[in-house]
Amino acid sequence: MVNHSSLVETLVEKAIDKKLIQASDQIYARNQILGLLGIANYQKETARSDQDIPDVLDILADDAVDRGLIEDLLDEREQLTAKIMDVFISKPSEINEAFYRNYQDSPVKATDYFYQLSKDSNYIQTKRIANNIQFKTASPYGDLDITINLSKPEKDPEQIKREKEMKQDVAYPKCLLCAENEGYVGRIGHPARSNHRIIEVPLEDEEWFLQYSPYVYYNEHSIVFAKEHRPMKINRDSFARLTAFVEKFPHYFIGSNADLPIVGGSILSHDHYQGGHYTFAMTNAEEEFHFTLDNFADVEAVVVKWPLSVIRLRHSNRNKLVDAADYILQKWRNYSDPEADILAYSKDTPHNTITPIARMRGGLFEIDLVLRNNRTSTEHPMGIFHPHDDVHHIKKENIGLIEVMGLAVLPPRLKDELSDIKKYLLGEKVTVAEYHLDWVQSIKEKHKNITEQNAEVIVENELGKKFARVLEDAGVYKTDKAGRLAFKRFLANLNEA
């Protein structure tokens, strides 16, 4: 039998421990939670549970289902638990005031405060994120990050049925990134955001906001988004805002998905960027060769040794860097090289765009321009510069900003499939998914001495090599001799009138 008093007291005490509330808020918080749970009786408990907040919330949600307070649907459970945690969180204005008080000491102190708050309030789903499988694997381009994404709970059939039955005429909030999600209770088909807070971060005289991703893929995985609900667009303003952000938060990188289908991210309907306090393999990749931009001779320009095609620019003056980046973007938008399969347009449909990433390094502004092209063909209907058929058994989704930088976000199915592959390589009788068979056979041929001790490392390393191939497919200029010659043709075009 669930001891409601003990669980509620546990939540309140832990909220005090984490400095979400003060001790003098205890009675108020307790009564608010009892009301949300529909509990009339309460016995003061001296002993509290030793479970952490996410575990207590799960128990309370299970109990609410058993008592008929809510239905056993993911969205209803999350609406209840988010409402409970909202009891402990200050109003948005107070959170922003605290953030900028900390900012006066340092940008790091400000983001540390907000990141910790986002975790303590259970907005960042730390318990679910812990389920992800994560490791690094060596590649010719540096150590790549591999994540098998197990954090997002799968919707049950009843919830999916409900979503289909509901009229889809609710247009508030307009999307998952809108500022109007702050404090939104949620509904079937739209996640609960009662415990969600955002920070005002004006960029280039526009209203923008900072939040963290509920399912962080790397340290301090943040989302920076426009107040205005408008489509993604890569232009000069994008470069200006990216460099303005790292000027305010020099310990963070920030980047944008491309603004075209196939090479863009999953949400192209709302202008936004992703950032964080993390160093990706691409950041530390070798610089292959320097080149000169005649119109911007004092801007340092290099090509990065990376499977995608990356131009890196550096300067102490961010405005000069923005001008140079915009110049390259405009040139690339209209550049075609049929010999390299690059066509800027099919009739009026544009294909060329850029995935930009900005950071501060050694006191200089640095921006990476990753050249992208989303053209399709009969041979490659999902995209010429998209993962090809022979790597779809690992990854066939879009290669967005996070993957571009060297972090693979791979589908949950791979957890069990890789386990079966390991068993198969060790001689056990298991069924390996048909789409993996060619790959598994190549692993067997390559590794003659597979043992219990080395099987997992072998499979992880081979998976990393496959991800490197995924990235190579997405590169508009390949890393071979012909690809580099084609890349240099574009660089030469930059210096033509």
Mind listing the pLDDT tens digit for each residue in 213-229?
999 999 999 999 999 99
pLDDT of residue 189: 86
pLDDT of residue 71: 93
pLDDT of residue 165: 64
pLDDT tens per residue, range 177-191: 999 999 999 998 899
Residue 456: both structure tokens together: 């997992």
For residue 199, give every residue at least 6 positions away whose Cβ sits within 8 Å of its Cβ, in sequence order, or none. 95, 96, 99, 114, 209, 210, 211
pLDDT of residue 62: 96
Nearest to 371 by CA among 240, 251, 489, 278: 489
pLDDT of residue 497: 74
Nearest to 307 by CA among 488, 479, 142, 483: 479
Nearest to 243 by CA among 178, 325, 309, 353: 325
pLDDT of residue 160: 62
Nearest to 311 by CA among 337, 268, 282: 282
Q: Which amino acid is at 145?
A: D
Give 10-residue mean pLDDT values along the chain (497 residues): 90 95 96 96 76 94 96 94 98 98 98 98 94 93 94 66 65 93 94 97 98 95 97 97 98 96 87 97 96 96 98 97 98 97 96 98 97 96 94 92 96 94 93 94 92 93 95 96 97 93
Count of other CB atoms within 10 angstroms of residue 172 = 10
Place of tokens 């102190």: 109
Task: Give CA separation, 433 vs 393, 439, 470, in Å.
Answer: 9, 11, 20
479/291 Cα distance (integer angstroms): 17
pLDDT of residue 57: 96
Q: How, if at all, do strands 352-361 and 349-350 pair?
A: unpaired
Mind listing the domains of the chain with CATH numbers? 129-407+477-494 (3.30.428)
